Structure 1
Amino acid sequence: MESLLNLDSREQKLTFDLMEVLTSSLDLSDVLSRAYEVLSKLLAADYAAICISKPGRLADYDWMVAAMPSEYFTRYHEMAPEDFVREAVMQHPNLVLRDTEMLPREELERSLLYQRCRELGMPLEHVMAVLLDVGRDWHGGFMLYRDRRQPFSDRERALMQQITPWLTKTVAKCREVGEIKGQKRVLEHLFQHQGVESLVLTSQATEWMRTPGATALLEAWFKPEARDAHGLPSALVERLLVLTSGRRVGGAERDTSMTFEGEEKKLRVSFVPLPEPGSGRLWGLLLQEVSDRTPLPQAWCKLLTQREAQVAECALRGWDNQTIAEHLHCSVGTVKKHLQRVFDKMGVDTRAALMNRATRM
């Protein structure tokens, strides 16, 4: 703790308190919120924010500490392209910068960020900030603002620089643990659907992860021109965006499944909302290749009633409930009841699992 020798007793106590907070939990939001309580005493500021984000996601941040007017965050997407603070710290990771080291005072007062903040009742007169280079494709930002003409001192900058490595390690550790927990929850959910490959996408159709066999399956079913620059089939991306936007297509209800016809097989794609590992909804795209006609196993006929067997046979052909209802001259509600009884007797809870079990009989 040699670096603490130049601090007075109050600063030393607050610094030790901060270190204790940063090692007290693996919940990032909780740790940073409590850390700010200490930081606000150590580094006096009128406003502050701590956020995390993936590089390149302009204006798309998780705000862990938001000691600023809420309007700032709701309107930040307007200011982000001309945020001189963000621009400056991005060029110097892990180095604490003050506004005087970012741009001349005259330019600061002409900047869109300065003007918008004054409109929001938050005059931005001085700022001190640092980019926390977390690694693993993540970064964090720690910003302090003053609404009075009192620049951050050399000593305050040195204190913030001393704290920066601790904050960086804490964000990296908590983010890594959070990702592992999130992936575990998603995988546990996906593995309930045995016999399928999966893609996991965000609600904006950005890929989050995929199971090992998903790539080969997509390449076999979708030609290169039918896939976007990231290798995702355009048809699947478009359907996901419809599902997440709440729009309807052709006046019809939104469908959470798609079927692609091949010469001897079909590709069934089901869209399933998943547990959220962080902010933002994730969707699992369950991909199952099935025979054009999966026969009803003989052993099932002993367990199912005649009508249940008819519904199960239609389901194994990949027909939706409406098609089955029309074929059997009954209502969709009746089909759903028979299909649920089939699921219960077969010990499955999805059509994909039912098809998978039938192909293994």
Structure 2
Amino acid sequence: MAGPSLRLDSREQELVLEMVEVLGSSLNLGEVLEQAYGLMARLLPTDCAAMCVSQPELPGGYDWVVTRMPETFVTHYAELSAVDFVRQAVVHQPNIVLRDSEMVAPRALERTELYQRCHDIGFPMEHVMSVLLDPRGDWHGGLTLYRERQRPFSDKDRALLQRLTPMLVSTVRNCRLFGQESRRADLLDTLFHHQGGECIVLAPPAREVMRTAHATALLERWFSPLERGPGGLPLALLAPLAALAGTPGLETPPPDAWRREGRDMDLGVTYVPLPADLMGRRHWALVLRETPHATPVPEAWREKLTPREVEVVAGVLRGWDNQLIAEDLHCSLGTVKKHLQHVFDKLGVSSRAALLHHASRKR
């Protein structure tokens, strides 16, 4: 495992092997690094540590993956970053582990503004060791270890973290690249196999990426040729996405659900945001579902139920499952289940089937 400059005992070798296994165990960066840090802390005892990832062109946009730090440090870091000699040093030597003695002149640490301001906010930083994890892509990571006591990081500590650095770099790269695509694939698979629904994936404002097998027939059934634009996509469904085309932020809220009533059926369309692709482009999935006209909620029930419970009952009477009701009401699946149990108790029924039966008798 170790090169000639680093000698590890059997316990340390075992911990390094465990880290190698953990770092390749998942594409969830936070999950992997949390587990890996637990092992690293046994190899390199520290008082505090931080691991973040960011985009180089957005120096303030840090995603703190591991924080074993006083909360005040994280909350104040945006203002501390301007005087952070640690970041300024490692940026110029990516993938090279540096100690504080290699970042500032000997005995100059206590005179740095970062040192003084950290002590002002209650973080007694005494020694630092850090590395910029540069996978040569759009993202990079930073790992910094701190010791509060007068116990500097040794040559062996530095050599050990340097030995682990290529593994950490690979983890950042793989999780950022392949983890994102894996999440997109899982979500698309879920959408495309949703029972009773069809799906169209679009890149705003109107570029189609893919659609399920029966989506075309569904669109032709519900929209006349005059209502459909290029590619047969209904203009009414494209309009909300056109409004989003100039909004690059990934936290853009989805458009409201779209609905059209027919003679015997209704068509509902839900806009589902997908994770950005490798180029940072946001796609949207349009999930289309036909539902039969619902049995109306009996007036006698409305007097016993809260307005929210009436909405849940209306969803059941449309033939919707709990997940679809939750999406329509913009609440959690657990909330729908709680409302439904309250409905059963108030109306004296024991199941959805019984609820449907009693509603049909009261028409």
TM-score (norm 1): 0.56
Equivalent runs, 1:172-191 vs 2, <5 Å: 172-191=173-192
Q: Is 2:200 the partner of 1:196?
A: yes
Q: Provide Cα deviations, 1:137-183, integer angstroms capped at 9, x if missing partner.
A: 22221111122344323332222212211222233334444223311
Equivalent runs, 1:299-310 vs 2, <5 Å: none
Q: 2:246 aligns with which of 216, 230, 233?
A: 233
Amino acid at match of 1:127: V
Asked if structure 1 preserves the Cα contact closer than 8 Å seen for 2:130 and 2:144, the reply is yes
Amino acid at match of 1:147: E
Alignment partner, residue 43 of structure 1: 44
Asked if structure 2 preserves the Cα contact closer than 8 Å seen for 1:22 and 1:170, the reply is no
Alignment partner, residue 18 of structure 2: 20
Alignment partner, residue 256 of structure 2: 256
- Which SS does the other structure have where 1:75 is aligned? helix
CA distance 1:117–1:176, shift in 2 (3 Å): same
Alignment partner, residue 171 of structure 2: 170
Unmatched 5+ residue regions in structure 2? 212-229, 260-267, 297-308, 329-363
Q: Provide Cα deviations, 1:30-78, integer angstroms capped at 9, x if missing partner.
A: 4323332332233232211222333333343333322211222222223
How far apart, CA to CA, are the structure 1 residues paired with 2:71 and 2:310?
50
Asked if structure 2 preserves the Cα contact closer than 8 Å seen for 1:269 and 1:286, the reply is no
CA distance 1:211–1:123, shift in 2 (3 Å): farther
Amino acid at match of 1:13: R
Asked if structure 2 preserves the Cα contact closer than 8 Å seen for 1:198 and 1:284, the reply is yes
CA RMSD of aligned residues (A): 4.8
Alignment partner, residue 119 of structure 2: 118
Asked if structure 1 preserves the Cα contact closer than 8 Å seen for 2:272 and 2:286, the reply is no
Asked if structure 2 preserves the Cα contact closer than 8 Å seen for 1:271 and 1:284, the reply is no
- Which SS does the other structure have where 2:209 is aligned? coil
How far apart, CA to CA, are the structure 1 residues paired with 2:21 and 2:77?
31
Equivalent runs, 1:206-355 vs 2, <5 Å: 212=209, 232-234=245-247, 243=253, 256=256, 271-272=271-272, 285-286=284-285
Alignment partner, residue 206 of structure 1: none
How far apart, CA to CA, are the structure 2 residues paired with 1:117 and 1:46?
14
Aligned pairs, how many? 269
How far apart, CA to CA, are the structure 1 residues paired with 2:148 and 2:136?
32
Q: Provide Cα deviations, 1:102-123, integer angstroms capped at 9, x if missing partner.
A: 3346875455532332123221
CA distance 1:269–1:285, shift in 2 (3 Å): farther
Asked if structure 2 preserves the Cα contact closer than 8 Å seen for 1:125 and 1:147, the reply is yes
How far apart, CA to CA, are the structure 2 residues paired with 1:258 and 1:35?
45
Amino acid at match of 1:167: L
Shift in Å, 1:129? 0.4
Alignment partner, residue 354 of structure 2: none
Amino acid at match of 1:233: G
How far apart, CA to CA, are the structure 2 residues paired with 1:48 and 1:108?
18
Shift in Å, 1:94? 0.5
Shift in Å, 1:211? 5.7
Quick one: percent identity of the two aligned structures? Answer: 35
Alignment partner, residue 102 of structure 2: 101
CA distance 1:182–1:197, shift in 2 (3 Å): closer
How far apart, CA to CA, are the structure 1 residues paired with 2:58 and 2:94?
17
Unmatched 5+ residue regions in structure 1? 201-209, 245-254, 260-267, 289-299, 309-332, 352-361
- Which SS does the other structure have where 1:151 is aligned? coil
How far apart, CA to CA, are the structure 1 residues paired with 2:55 and 2:144?
17
- Which SS does the other structure have where 1:37 is aligned? helix
How far apart, CA to CA, are the structure 2 residues paired with 1:145 and 1:270?
48
Q: Provide Cα deviations, 1:208-253, integer angstroms capped at 9, x if missing partner.
A: xx86379x999x989xxx99xxx9335x979x75x59xxxxxxxxx
How far apart, CA to CA, are the structure 2 residues paired with 1:186 and 1:81?
39
How far apart, CA to CA, are the structure 1 residues paired with 2:47 and 2:249?
44
